[in-house]
Chains A and B, each alone.
Chain A
Amino acid sequence: MITLKDIKPGQTVLVDNVKITGQARGRFMAMGIMKGARLKVIKVAPLGDPIEVLVKSYNLSFRKAEAEQIFVSLV
């Protein structure tokens, strides 16, 4: 099982499972981070965190702490 945290910039993945819990789960899903979503990791911030992801053709940024709870498979 790989998580979004392991994905290198430039790679595209499909989301298998979002393990983020609580209110944050709803916020991530409303922004399009949900099972079946197609994501492309764009880049990592200069200091190593957060990451930038292309989802539903817009750019979203969140931290590795949350990326680690998003299980994905490579396309």
Chain B
Amino acid sequence: MSVLNIALAGNPNTGKSTIFNALTGARQHIGNWPGVTVDKKMGQLTRGKKKINIIDLPGTYSLSAYSLEEKIVKEYLLGEKPDLVVNVVDASNIERNLYLTVQLLEMGIPTIVNLNMMDEAKSKGYEINLDVLGKYLGAKVISSVATSKNGLQQLINSLDSPNMAMPEVAGSSLLDEYLKQIANIRKSEKDSELMEEEIISARYDFINRVLEKSLIINEAVVSWHDRLDNIFTNRILGIPIFIAIMYMMFELTFTWVGQPISDLLDGFISGTLTDWVNGTMAALGTAGWLQSLVTDGIIGGVGSVVVFVPLIFTLFFFISFLDGTGYMARVAFIMDRAMRKIGLSGKSILPMLIGFGCTVPAIMGARALDTERDRKIAVLISPFMSCGARLPVYALFAALFFPGKESIIVLSLYLLGILVAIVMGLIFKSTYFKGDAEPFLMELPPFRVPTIKTVLLQTWEKGKGFLVKAGTIIFSMSVAIWFLSSYNFSGPSDIKDSLLAAIGGLIAPIFALHGFGSWQTGVAVLTGILAKEAVVSTLGVIYGISELADDTAKIVTQLQGTLGATFNSLSAYAFMVFTLLYTPCMAALGTIKKEMGSWKWALFAAGYTFVLAWVASLLIYRIGLLLGLGG
């Protein structure tokens, strides 16, 4: 069986992924390019006796190695030499899209030009003569409307014989002439910048000559997406609309859809399922430790991952949808000025905002940023945006120690998180990630209605990544913590005498100067690394409240006496600040490892946030004492 390697290349926003999905169906594999966090998508197709591997290259505007994506595509084409490149071209934006086509032709790789989005081109008043275009480009040209699968069968038919795609169109005199011109420019001894400029001009000249013969533009009317664009980026309405959309997205995710399903799942896993397993195992006469491992360790651990799933999938669904419409580019456009003030680009606002919901999708959202450097900075600072899981901790301590002033206390923590994120972002930018700022250069794609299939597939891809990678880490950590909390060196034990309590006792002195140096807070800090919401439940378990109430008001009464003895209002605030800033949860650390490609960065993130939190809460406690706030 012969194997063909076919690469899909094209500009961003040309429907390349839709074509890839249509060609490969379910037989695809998504990973990262070696060493970098750019998606590597591969799929398979069988045509008669031929096996066709299709690789979806990252979307690029050119092959000039200006960005990470361009370097990947260039290196792949030069190094792997695919049998055929299918160049997906947005027909409604043909002039700029052909720039990449020309570069592919210069490299001499067999190329099929797939003019996609023919419907949009028509509505823009474009009449393209495919035969003439193909003749002058010296490549086979196929048209399609991928969203409705038009023309895709013709594309598939041309894939199994890449060599046959060429002869019928080979020998464009215009292309030959152009290739000679380029060779001459390259031979002439000029400085490289001047040469690059002449080559770029020559490319666009060639494109213009080809289009003169093959494209007729009829006067088009103002389209509906121009009108929409004028509303969404309006001087006065633009920002309020943005805030409203974000608010809706969070409400839908955390209040209406994601959270209720999460709660249901949580109820099922920690209630019905656990009871059933307990009952069955007891009936079978299973040893107590095994029963505890299965229910508390494994089911509890997996459960803590699973309850994240509806939230993450709902949020990713909305993000994929908004991304597919072209609105995200508008968000970057309207917010760039504000974000630049804090050393970031407009494109980084999204991951920061998502961070208020959950750090995990925020870290994954950083992929939208242009450069590896911006991505890494965004990943490293997103844990400071107070995620939803920290809110129970704030709510408990604020209600206990600052009655009547809860809102202002909680707000101050959110603001402190933002401030720390900004300061750390600026520090990273001027130290380890030093370098010239990249100019902001962004296409504003036309508004489109994304296909439901594309949105669902993207949601699934992102969500699956979280499930697999973060899931395994959370699972193994849960089992480890279960073990530590149920055993000591002489065997099974109560949590008070467990290894975990002993470790808590070892940690406690670290906080001796912070006003909360007890083994109990030490343990709460530890389990908080597992999941931030565990801080409250751990305190409940340790202080012997068997069934912690769901409602904060009741928890407050339950914990009033015990916590009141350990904390005062100043040390309570210092503890909240510590909770805000310290090591992100295991799910977030697992995601950092996955996105940044190495444990080194995950450990760095875990370490530097811990040190920062330690120093910040120490300063708050000590300065507070000096100011006489210790009562």
The yes or no answer to B197 lying at the interface (CB within 8 A) is yes
Determine whether the beta carbon of A45 is less than 8 Å from that of B201. no
B203 nearest CB neighbor, chain A only: A30
Contact of A63 among B235, B335, B439 (CB under 8 A): B439
Contact of A50 among B96, B196, B333 (CB under 8 A): B333
The yes or no answer to B78 lying at the interface (CB within 8 A) is no
The yes or no answer to A49 lying at the interface (CB within 8 A) is yes
Q: Which of B59-67, B543-551, B607-615 sits within the interface? A: B59-67
Q: Which of B42-50, B173-181, B440-448, B511-519 sits within the interface? A: B440-448
Q: Quote the shortest CB–CB distance from B309 to chain A (angstroms).
A: 36
Determine whether the beta carbon of B239 is less than 8 Å from that of A61. no
The yes or no answer to B99 lying at the interface (CB within 8 A) is yes
The yes or no answer to B169 lying at the interface (CB within 8 A) is no
A20 nearest CB neighbor, chain B only: B439
Determine whether the beta carbon of A45 is less than 8 Å from that of B337. yes
Q: Quote the shortest CB–CB distance from B374 to chain A (angstroms).
A: 15
Bound CA–CA A56/B126 (angstroms): 13
Quick one: which of A13-70 are within 8 Å of B by CB?
20, 22-32, 34-35, 43-50, 52, 55-63, 65-66
Chain B residues within 8 Å of A44, by CB:
235
Determine whether the beta carbon of A30 is less than 8 Å from that of B443. no
Chief secondary structure at chain A's binding surface: mixed
Chain A residues within 8 Å of B66, by CB:
23, 26-27, 30
A28 nearest CB neighbor, chain B only: B441
Determine whether the beta carbon of B200 is less than 8 Å from that of A34. yes
Determine whether the beta carbon of A46 is less than 8 Å from that of B233. yes
**Which of A27, A35, A44, A65 has the largest count of B CB atoms less than 10 A from its CB?**
A27
Q: Quote the shortest CB–CB distance from B497 to chain A (angstroms).
A: 59
Quick one: which of B88-134 are within 8 Å of A by CB?
93, 95-96, 99, 124
Chain B residues within 8 Å of A30, by CB:
61-62, 64, 66, 99, 200
Q: Quote the shortest CB–CB distance from B344 to chain A (angstroms).
A: 14
The yes or no answer to B151 lying at the interface (CB within 8 A) is no
Chain A residues within 8 Å of B83, by CB:
none
Chain A residues within 8 Å of B597, by CB:
none
Determine whether the beta carbon of B439 is less than 8 Å from that of A24. yes
Chain B residues within 8 Å of A28, by CB:
439, 441
Bound CA–CA A55/B314 (angstroms): 37
Query: How many cross-chain pairs have Cβ atoms below 8 Å apart between A and B?
Result: 111
Bound CA–CA A29/B230 (angstroms): 27
Q: Given that A26-B196, A30-B62, A31-B441 are contacting pairs, would A56 and B95 also be in contact in the complex, using a CB cutoff of 8 Å?
A: yes
Q: Given that A30-B61, A46-B239 are contacting pairs, would A58 and B333 also be in contact in the complex, using a CB cutoff of 8 Å?
A: no
The yes or no answer to B212 lying at the interface (CB within 8 A) is no
The yes or no answer to B204 lying at the interface (CB within 8 A) is yes
The yes or no answer to B238 lying at the interface (CB within 8 A) is yes
The yes or no answer to B281 lying at the interface (CB within 8 A) is no
The yes or no answer to B334 lying at the interface (CB within 8 A) is yes
Determine whether the beta carbon of B444 is less than 8 Å from that of A34. no
Determine whether the beta carbon of A60 is less than 8 Å from that of B442. yes
Q: Given that A23-B66, A30-B99 are contacting pairs, would A58 and B93 also be in contact in the complex, using a CB cutoff of 8 Å?
A: yes
Q: Given that A23-B66, A56-B96, A58-B93 are contacting pairs, would A46 and B234 also be in contact in the complex, using a CB cutoff of 8 Å?
A: yes
Q: Quote the shortest CB–CB distance from B176 to chain A (angstroms).
A: 23
Bound CA–CA A56/B440 (angstroms): 19
Chain A residues within 8 Å of B264, by CB:
none
Bound CA–CA A43/B234 (angstroms): 9
Q: Given that A23-B66, A50-B440 are contacting pairs, would A45 and B336 also be in contact in the complex, using a CB cutoff of 8 Å?
A: yes
Q: Quote the shortest CB–CB distance from A69 to chain B (angstroms).
A: 10
Bound CA–CA A47/B339 (angstroms): 11
Chain A residues within 8 Å of B1, by CB:
none
Contact of B96 among A25, A32, A35 (CB under 8 A): A32
Contact of B333 among A24, A48, A61 (CB under 8 A): A61
Chain B residues within 8 Å of A60, by CB:
441-444
The yes or no answer to B236 lying at the interface (CB within 8 A) is yes
The yes or no answer to B193 lying at the interface (CB within 8 A) is yes
The yes or no answer to B338 lying at the interface (CB within 8 A) is yes
Bound CA–CA A45/B436 (angstroms): 24
Bound CA–CA A47/B346 (angstroms): 12
Bound CA–CA A38/B191 (angstroms): 27
Determine whether the beta carbon of A27 is less than 8 Å from that of B444. no
Determine whether the beta carbon of A31 is less than 8 Å from that of B61. yes
Chain A residues within 8 Å of B196, by CB:
26, 29
Bound CA–CA A43/B439 (angstroms): 19
Bound CA–CA A59/B93 (angstroms): 10
A46 nearest CB neighbor, chain B only: B238
Contact of A59 among B62, B193, B234, B444 (CB under 8 A): B444
Bound CA–CA A18/B499 (angstroms): 67
Determine whether the beta carbon of A26 is less than 8 Å from that of B64. yes
Q: Given that A29-B200, A52-B233, A60-B442 are contacting pairs, would A47 and B61 also be in contact in the complex, using a CB cutoff of 8 Å?
A: no
B residues with CB within 8 A of A: 61-62, 64, 66, 93, 95-96, 99, 124, 193, 196-197, 200-201, 204, 230, 233-236, 238-239, 329, 333-338, 340, 346, 436, 438-446
Contacts A28-B439, A32-B204 known; list 20 others, CB within 8 Å: A26-B200, A27-B64, A27-B441, A30-B61, A30-B62, A32-B99, A44-B235, A45-B233, A45-B334, A45-B337, A46-B233, A46-B334, A47-B239, A50-B333, A50-B346, A55-B96, A57-B93, A59-B445, A61-B441, A66-B441
Q: Can you list 23 A-B contacts with CB-CB less than 8 angstroms, sorted by A residue number?
A: A22-B436, A23-B66, A24-B438, A26-B196, A27-B64, A29-B197, A29-B201, A30-B62, A45-B238, A45-B333, A45-B336, A45-B337, A47-B335, A49-B336, A50-B440, A57-B95, A57-B124, A59-B444, A59-B445, A59-B446, A61-B329, A62-B442, A63-B439
10 tightest CB-CB pairs across the interface, nearest first? A47-B337, A59-B444, A30-B62, A56-B95, A46-B238, A29-B200, A58-B93, A24-B439, A49-B337, A56-B96
